Each structure stands twice: as structure tokens, then as C-alpha cells.
Structure 1
């Protein structure tokens, strides 16, 4: 992920690919953070871009959280001992990051798994630079960012994003789509004009389950979303719904949910 819970499929697939090299460490780089062996600061804010999030490591300069920013570090910690002798691009790192950052993301925002998959904010994770890794650095950093994998630019976050999704959530933080179909539509906050709204999700398996196959996942998602969207809309005579579901690569990283979308007139 460099992440994101919008278009989570592409996000999760990227988890295992990004970071094979450390070609860059972001924009507006702080020289003191470049190739840092010590773990980053918890709670730090930065103005990250989608290009920054596409990198394995990040040394973008921090800013005061009262200033404009698009990212906030919500989790920092040492990697498990199993990675002491691991290669920099070990695929297991992506699997660990998905579990750790996604669990902490829910707690940080004050939401459950279904809700965080329907918000415009997402998360990104970073490891040390390759040079720092070679020196023995073994830490991870999880940032909440104001957008997802389809975002051309990120939105500004509040001064502190902790608890952002608690209680009644403002439409500015929920995900909708504007277009003839969800697949062809542009993801936008629900506070903007839109034709589709992500209304619920379906859990398709437990962590230990084997992938049930593309066809079964699609059929179960379709049938659930048909019923669920109808209930959400109050069982109208006619309604349009859509669904986004994921494949084996995303399943193997840890995703177990598909998203149901309702067509709306606002």
C-alpha cells in the first residue's frame, strides 16, 4: 500500500514490489535524515507527494503539524529479529508491513477495517535506506497520507489525524467516484460531486484461509453487494450497484475484503 485503501488491489500488489532499490528518498530532503540508522520520530508531519510514497525509504523534511502537511507518522518500531539477516527487498517485509501498519492504522483513526477501506486517506510505510540497511538499520515507519494509489496529489490533513474516523465522519474523508462506472470513475471525496459511493465491504475469509479462486470471490462479492446496497438504500424498486474485488496477489498479502458501491444522485 505504497498504500492506500482506495484501489487497495493495486496498493497491496505494490507492497511486494516497491523498494527493490533506493533510488531516492523523497522531495525536500533533510540531509540529517538521509541514510539514517536511527528510527524516525513518531508523530512527525511531512508534506509528502505520491512520488515520495512510491519510494522504499523517505527523508522528506518534517514540518510543524500546525502547518500544511499531507502525512503524519503514526507508528514507528524495530523490525522483528527474523529480518536481521534479510535482504533489503525481502518479500516478507511487505507482508509484515501490511499487518503492522494496517492494524495500527485502524486504531489510530478510530475505525474498523470496513470503514478504513472506504476513506480517502490511506497509509504508506518506509524502511531505512539501502545504505542504512547495510549498516544494520532495521526499523519501519507507517504514515497516514491524504490520498490513495490513484491520487495525483494529496489533500491536507488536520493538525492531528488521530481519531479522524471516530463518530460521525465528514464526507470530506469518505471515498466516492465520479464517472459512468466505478472502474472508469475518478475517486473523489464524497463532499465533491459524485455518482458512486462506497457504502460497505464484505469479508471473504480468515487470515489462515487459502485463496478460494477468482470466480468464487467475484460471485460472493456480487451477491452480497446486491443485497447490502439494496438494504442501504431502503430497498427501492430499482437501484444500481457495483463492487471492487481483489485477486490472489492481494489475498496473499493479507486483504480479505471487497467493497460495495451504490449509485447516487448527489
Structure 2
């Protein structure tokens, strides 16, 4: 499962057949099977690796489906309602240097898919990495099921999705290439960060606050909150002042990453201003 993240083998056993009555005896007196007793091998059906995804395909995924590792939904025409578009398809590196084969659900395989998909999303949307932080767009990735991987499937699929509200995906346009500057993608909130009513939503929905800047937070471990607040204050204050009608009277709020977000790779805080 993502934050929005059994090999089966069939063995065909042939049953040996004994000589049926009526066979002939050779000169040594042993019975040789007649032609009618020769077993007919059953026809073997090759395992099905399933279809390989293609760039430009669209899917109508639920929030839960987008958070899964394996997607079993069929593509839909992009002119119809959809919530995900495939922008890259790659090949998993399943063979190790020592000659072993990785599982598609191994940490190494999933890390390869995650890294490839996230690094390509900004280019697909036409955004800088820092700009992407202030949007509701996310990269999600899928790999074949273990059964299909056993049959030879070795692809991974990168889709773009956008969160409209908690556990709800935004309906996408027919094509998302270069779509990063769409106002509906901008990150907003229903209330100030840290308050009970705070919910992150698309700016296309009702909102009271808007994300305007981010501040990098360095270190191997998540710093204590006072240290993060001090690190973010000047950047957030300047961002709020530049957007205020009165440069002497303005408000802002700072959102620090949680421990869960930090462990998932979010190493920055977000500056918010009233909408």
C-alpha cells in the first residue's frame, strides 16, 4: 500500500501406465505394450503474462485502487471519465548480479518503479520539482501480479493522479501532458494547518487557505518542531507579505512534515496563507 504504497508454479505430473492385457511378449518372455496402451500427453497451455500497458492509456481508478500495487482494471477511452493516465512504462530489473530473480513485489523492484515514476512526473506535467510540491498531482505505480510475473511479465507502469479531497481523486482531462499549471491542481485547504477542520483539497473545491511556498528541511532525522518552525518562519513570512494587500498586516501558517511523511520522503514544510 502507498501513501496517497507468492509465486505460483504449475507442475504437470505425467502418470505412468502399465501394460494393458493383450500386449505381445518378446523373446525374453516379457510383455511389450500394445499400441493402444501408449499414453497421450495432455496438451500444455503456456502461462498468460497478461497485456503490457501502453503510454497514453487511461483508467478510472478509485482512491483505493490508486493506492494498490497491482491494478486489475481495464483501460477506458480517455474521452470518457477517468482519474489516471499512464505517462511511462518501464522494464523491471528482476535479475540480480548473483543470478537470482527478484520478486515483483520485492523492495528493490518497488523502489525502482517508485524512483522512475516520481522522477518523470515533473517532466510530464511541465513543472519544476519545487512547483510540483504545491499541487495535488501525484505519481502512482503498478507492477504485474506475482502470477503474471511468473509467466514472464516484467513491466512497471507510471500513472498520474490528482487528489481532489480526502480519499477522492480528481477527474482528469483527456490528456495531462503539460497540465501542471492548471488552477484546479493547486493545493488548498479547508482550514488552517494544525486545526481540527484542516483538510487538504484541490483549489477547485471550497477552501479557506492556499499553499504558497515550501521550505527544505535537512538532516537524517526529523528535527524537533521548534527547530523546524524557526527554519520556516522567514520564508513563510516573506511569502505571506508578498501576497498581502497590506504589507504590515498579514497572516500565515506553517505546516511541518509528520514522522510518517518524513519517513515516506517528504523533507520539506509548507507555507500557507488565507485564500
Interval containing the TM-score (normalised by the shorter chain): 0.7 to 0.9
Equivalent residue number for residue 131 of structure 1: 147
For 1:153 and 1:255, the matched residues in 2 are separated by: 21
Runs of 4+ with deviation above 6 angstroms = none
SS in 2 for 1:101: helix
Matched, 1:174 2:186: yes
Q: Check if 1:69 corresponds to 2:82.
A: yes
Q: 1:99 aligns with which of 108, 112, 115?
A: 115
Paired position in structure 2 for 1:257? 268
SS of the aligned residue for 1:96 comes to helix
Q: Determine helix, strand or coil for the equivalent of 1:106.
A: helix
In 1, the alpha carbon distance for the partners of 2:90 and 2:235 equals 38
- Please say if residues 214 and 247 of structure 1, whose CA atoms lie closer than 8 Å, have aligned partners that are also in contact: no
Q: Tell me the residue number matched to 1:55.
A: 68
Using CA pairs below 8 Å that are at least 6 residues apart, which structure has the higher relative contact order? 1
Distance change >3 Å, CA 243–CA 86, structure 1 → 2:
farther
Query: Highest Rg: 1 or 2?
Result: 2
The Cα of 1:171 is off from its aligned counterpart by 2.3
**Shift of the alpha carbon at 1:219?**
3.7
- Preserved contact between residue 37 and residue 133 of structure 1 (Cα < 8 Å): no
Other-structure match for 1:141: 157
Distance in 1 between the 2:239 and 2:110 partners? 32
Computed over aligned residues only, the root mean square deviation of the Cα atoms, in angstroms, reads 3.0
| Partner of residue 238, structure 1 | 249
Moved more, 210-219 or 137-146: 210-219
TM-score (norm 1): 0.73
Are the structure 2 counterparts of residues 158 and 42 from structure 1 closer, same or farther at C-alpha, using a change threshold of 3 Å?
Answer: same
Q: Give the match's secondary structure for 2:169.
A: coil
Q: Structure 1 residues 82 and 113 mapped into 2: Cα distance closer, same or farther (>3 Å)? A: farther
TM-score between the two structures when normalised by the length of structure 2: 0.71
- In the TM superposition, 1:1-266 aligns within 5 A as 2=2, 10-11=3-4, 15=5, 36=49, 39-81=52-94, 85-147=101-163, 151-165=166-180, 169-181=181-193, 184-205=197-218, 210-211=220-221, 213-215=223-225, 216-233=227-244, 236-247=247-258, 250-251=261-262, 253-264=264-275
Q: Gaps (5+ residues) in structure 2? A: 8-47
Aligned residues of 1:211 and 1:248 also touching (Cα < 8 A): no
Deviation of 1:178 after TM superposition, in Å, equals 1.2
Farther-moved stretch of structure 1 (87-96 vs 136-145): 87-96
Question: In structure 1, how many angstroms separate the alpha carbons of the residues matched to 2:77 and 2:166?
Answer: 24
What is the total number of aligned residue pairs between the two structures?
230
- Helix, strand or coil: the match of 1:63? coil
Q: CA deviation at 1:251?
A: 4.5
Unaligned runs of 5+ in 1: 3-9, 22-34
Question: How far did residue 253 of structure 1 move?
Answer: 4.8
The 1:44/1:229 distance shift into structure 2, 3 A limit, reads same
> Match of 1:124, SS?
strand
1:124-170 residue CA offsets vs partner (Å, 9 max, x unmatched): 1111112123334332111111326x5333222111000002xxx34
Distance 2:60 2:124 in 1: 19
